[in-house]
Amino acid sequence: MVEWTDFERATIQDIFSKMDYESVGHNALARCLVVYPWTQRYFGNFGNLYNAAAIMGNPKVAAHGVVVLHGLDRAVKNMDNIKATYAELSVLHSEKLHVDPDNFRLLADCLTIVVASRLGTGFTADVQAAFQKFLAVVGAALTKQYH
């Protein structure tokens, strides 16, 4: 069982309650596709991903970024049971989508950078630690059903 301190709970709730899911989801997924180009292989039917501008302007990328953030929202609302909350999503990503679980960490890193750039000095070291712990737990839960 993952233990969360009061500070960690409050931090996660605070970050997500103030977050613009459309903008952050879009930005984080686009960054992933730009910075780690091999991830584009999962989005073969998304059309033009030829360069950074195309990726940033691609409406399917924007739409899917929001889907991902809404998926993350389920973990935010069930912090004491992320593993069970994501059991089906984990099966989906492994058996149907065949996503290499390393990529969860890459998307988490891009999401961290987007949140850092939005919060500026508000993204202190303690907040960073809490946020990265949350994303690490999410990644582990999504990987759980792979083996």
Partner 1 sequence: MSGGGDKEGIKSARAANSDCSLILESLIVGKSTEADSMVEWSDAERSAIAAVWGKLNLDEVGPQALGRVLIVYPWTQRYFGTFGDLSNAAAILGNPKVANHGKVVLGALDKAVKNLDNIKGTYANLSQLHCEKLNVDPDNFRLLADCLTIVIATKFGAAFPPQVQATWQKLMAVVVAALTSRYF
The site for partner 1 (CB under 8 A) is made up of 27, 30-31, 34-35, 52, 55-56, 109, 112-114, 116-121, 123-126, 128-129, 132
Comparing CB distances to partner 1, the nearer of 97 and 129 is 129
Nearer to partner 1, 55 or 89 (CB): 55
Q: Which is nearer to partner 1, 128 or 145 (CB)?
A: 128
What distances in angstroms separate CA 46 from CA 30, 33, 58, 78, 85, one per listed residue?
Answer: 12, 12, 8, 31, 28
Instruction: Say how many CA atoms lie within 13 Å of 34 toward its Cβ.
Output: 16
CB of 117 to partner 1, least distance (A): 4
Of 13 and 124, CB closest to partner 1: 124
As measured in angstroms, the least distance from the Cβ of 75 to partner 1 is: 20
77-113 CB burial, b ≥16 within 10 A, e <16:
eebeebbebbeebbeebbeeeebebebbebbbbbbbe
- Do 30 and 121 meet the contact criterion of CB atoms below 8 Å apart? no
Question: Cβ of residue 89: shortest distance to partner 1, in angstroms?
Answer: 25
Distance in Å, CB of 146 to partner 1, minimum: 23
Q: How far is the CB of 46 from partner 1 (least distance, A)?
A: 16
Sign of torsion over alpha carbons 114, 15, 109, 75 = negative
Q: Which CB, 35 or 97, lies closer to partner 1?
A: 35
Greatest alpha-carbon pair distance for the chain in Å reads 44
